[in-house]
Structure formats: structure tokens, C-alpha cells
């Protein structure tokens, strides 16, 4: 298996060029430098979540779980943007569900605030193209590396991580997603090996690892479809290895009568010394942007 090492600048330039060409075609028809050994606590970019978990800490293994179409990867992109662009940290992403170009295209849409659905490309204005170009340049000049590994295995991830850390430093790793790792189904209890090894890797790298996880479809048969830790696909006792589990849920996915159609819930159901809680966010489905929400304050008596 070959791990591509194309630079993020080249990927952004390629994706932006594709956006331009698509539009034309349609018109025709708290922290310090980790390299110095100082502790880095990474903000998620969401005030309520940061207040609850005090950010992502070095050596932590974090699992983000959700059913398909809930916005799991989009939420991870929001965190990635804040860590990489706002905090200017070094992030390494392993995407197994889509190409690196598709992943970066979503990041550009998020950063620019412009919907990049194919049907919309021909309607973009010159000002919007400029915003897309500015976002592509901004992301391209960041210290972000994206690998699209299909299939992927832990040995390759481990090797790439240590090489990146040695060459330029490393502040965070994102894996999308756990169930697509070859090691996950190698043997009985292979899921336990995956989480154990990723937790060990996070500690050895001294940086947080955020991994996405699928949720079992059995939640569809319940009246309350909010996911629970036991619903993480293939896992029984994830608390053995994960420092933090976040579960994403949007009621509007199941019901158009949901009272708050733009709401999303992040259930922080496991965290050492952090207990459990539910955080409310706002969700923009067009750009994949999540926002801090204070809906719960509206009901304070």
C-alpha cells in the first residue's frame, strides 16, 4: 500500500482549479511549541465543549461517533479548521472514506462559507470565487497533511505519524474512520487492538488523536435514537482505551417536526474526571459549519 505525500498546498491548488473549471463548464452548458517539549492544549473552537473538557490534551485518544449523514466528518472538519488555521498547529489527517481532494474541498467550503454542491458551482459570483481562492491559499499555506489511505492499517498510520513528527512536528492526528482500518476485522477482538494501539500511539506522539466511529444501526429501532457508547459499532467497552467519547446527534434528521431544525447535540458521555453532559450546537448543512448555541439558556427560569 502506498501512502501519498502530496503537499496540502498542491491539493488546495488542484481542488480550487477543479472548482473554477466546474463553474466554467456549467456556464457553457493556550499553547506553546510542541517541538520544545511544552504542553499544548488544543481548543476545539467551541466554547461550551472547551469549558467541559478543557480542550484536547497531549496523549489523549478521542472517539467521535455518529450515524451516517449526521455530520460526523463535518464536525471533525470544524475542529480541524480551528486547530490548523486559527491556532496554526500541525495536523495530520488519514481519510479512508473519500479522496484527499474531496476532503480538502469540504474544508475549503467550510472555511469560505460557500456551498460547493455541483448544482451551485455555476451560480458562483466573482466575489465568491475570490473567497474560495483566499480559503484555498490559506489552507494551502497551513501545516496540514492529508493522506487518503484505502485500505489503511495501523502500521502505515504509525509509520507516517512518526515520520511527520520527526520532520516537522505534530500537534494532532485525525483518523476517519476506525471501522475502515484493516486491523479492525483481522481477528476476534480486533476492535480492541485498534483502540489500544491508537491510545498508545497518542501517548508516544504526545498529541491527541481524534478518530471517527460508525454507530450501530440498532439505534434506528429505538424511540430515542440518540446514540450511546454501547452503540459504537464493533465496541463493547470503549472506556478501556478512549479518554473521551463524543456522540453527535441531530433530531431533524429523523423528524421535520423537530422544534429546532438547526440544532445538533454533542453528548460527552465519557471523559476521565469530566463526567457526562450534552452540548448544543447550531448546524449549517450547506457549508458544514457548526456554531456555538445557547438554546438551553432560553429556557432558564
What is the C-alpha separation between 249 and 68, in angstroms, rounded?
Answer: 10
Confidence of residue 204 (pLDDT cuts 50, 70, 90): very high
Residue 16 has pLDDT above 90, yes or no: no
pLDDT digits (tens, 9 = 90+) for 257-284: 655 556 899 999 765 555 678 999 998 8
Residue 119 has pLDDT above 60, yes or no: no
Confidence of residue 22 (pLDDT cuts 50, 70, 90): low
Mean pLDDT of 77-96: 96
**DSSP state letters, 78-130:** HHHHIIIIIS---EEEEESSS-HHHHHHHHHHHHHT----HHHHTT--HHHHH
Long-range contacts of 130-138 (CB under 8 A, 24+ apart): 132/16, 132/19, 132/108, 133/16, 135/108, 135/111, 136/12, 136/13, 136/15, 136/16, 136/108, 137/12, 138/85, 138/111
Find the range with the poorest average confidence among 64-78, 127-141, 229-243, 287-301.
287-301
**DSSP state letters, 224-277:** S----GGGBTT-S-GGGT-SEEEEEE-GGGT-TT-S-TTEEEEEEEEETTT--E
Mean pLDDT of 209-214: 95
Structural domains in the chain? 41-96+149-244 (3.40.50.300)
CA distances (Å), origin 130, targets 20, 108, 127, 157: 10, 12, 5, 35
Is-cis flag, bond preceding 207, omega within 30?
Answer: no
Residue 30 has pLDDT above 60, yes or no: no
- For residue 257, the model assigns a pLDDT of 65
- Percent of the chain clearing pLDDT 70 (strictly above): 79
Mean of pLDDT over the chain: 83
pTM for the model stands at 0.85
- For residue 236, the model assigns a pLDDT of 61
Mean pLDDT of 230-256: 80
Mean pLDDT of 112-138: 84
Residue 246 has pLDDT above 70, yes or no: yes
The answer to whether 71 and 250 are in contact (CB under 8 A) is yes
Residue 190 has pLDDT above 90, yes or no: no
Rounding to the nearest 10 degrees, give the CA dihedral for residues 91, 71, 4, 90. Answer: -10
What is the C-alpha separation between 80 and 159, in angstroms, rounded?
Answer: 21
Amino acid at each position: 500500500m502506498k501512502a501519498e505525500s502530496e503537499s496540502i498546498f498542491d491539493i488546495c491548488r488542484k481542488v480550487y482549479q477543479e472548482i473554477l473549471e466546474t463553474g466554467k463548464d456549467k456556464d457553457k452548458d493556550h499553547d506553546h511549541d510542541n517541538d520544545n517539549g511544552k504542553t499544548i492544549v488544543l481548543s476545539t473552537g467551541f466554547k461550551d465543549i472547551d469549558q467541559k473538557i478543557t480542550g484536547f490534551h497531549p496523549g489523549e485518544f478521542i472517539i467521535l461517533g455518529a450515524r451516517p449523514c449526521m455530520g460526523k466528518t463535518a464536525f471533525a472538519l470544524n475542529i480541524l479548521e480551528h486547530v490548523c488555521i486559527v491556532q496554526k498547529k500541525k495536523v495530520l489527517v488519514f481519510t479512508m472514506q473519500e479522496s484527499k481532494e474531496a476532503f480538502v474541498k469540504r474544508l475549503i467550503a467550510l472555511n469560505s462559507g460557500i456551498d460547493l454542491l455541483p448544482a451551485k458551482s455555476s451560480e458562483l459570483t466573482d466575489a465568491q470565487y475570490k473567497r474560495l481562492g483566499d480559503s484555498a491559499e490559506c489552507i494551502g499555506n497551513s501545516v496540514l497533511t492529508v493522506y487518503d489511505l484505502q485500505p489503511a492499517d495501523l502500521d502505515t498510520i504509525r509509520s507516517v505519524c512518526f515520520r511527520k513528527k520527526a520532520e516537522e512536528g505534530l500537534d494532532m492526528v485525525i483518523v476517519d474512520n476506525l471501522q475502515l482500518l484493516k486491523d479492525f476485522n483481522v481477528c476476534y477482538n480486533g476492535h480492541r487492538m485498534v483502540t489500544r494501539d491508537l491510545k498508545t500511539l497518542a501517548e508516544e506522539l504526545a498529541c491527541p488523536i481524534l478518530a471517527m466511529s460508525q454507530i450501530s444501526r440498532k439505534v434506528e429501532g429505538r424511540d430515542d435514537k440518540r446514540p450511546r457508547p454501547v452503540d459504537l459499532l464493533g465496541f463493547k467497552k470503549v472506556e478501556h482505551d478512549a479518554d473521551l467519547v463524543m456522540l453527535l446527534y441531530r433530531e431533524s434528521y429523523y423528524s421535520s417536526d423537530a422544534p429546532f431544525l438547526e440544532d445538533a447535540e454533542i453528548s460527552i458521555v465519557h471523559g476521565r474526571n469530566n463526567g457526562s453532559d450534552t452540548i448544543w450546537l447550531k448546524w449549517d448543512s450547506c457549508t458544514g459549519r457548526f456554531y456555538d448555541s445557547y438554546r438551553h439558556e432560553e429556557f432558564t427560569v
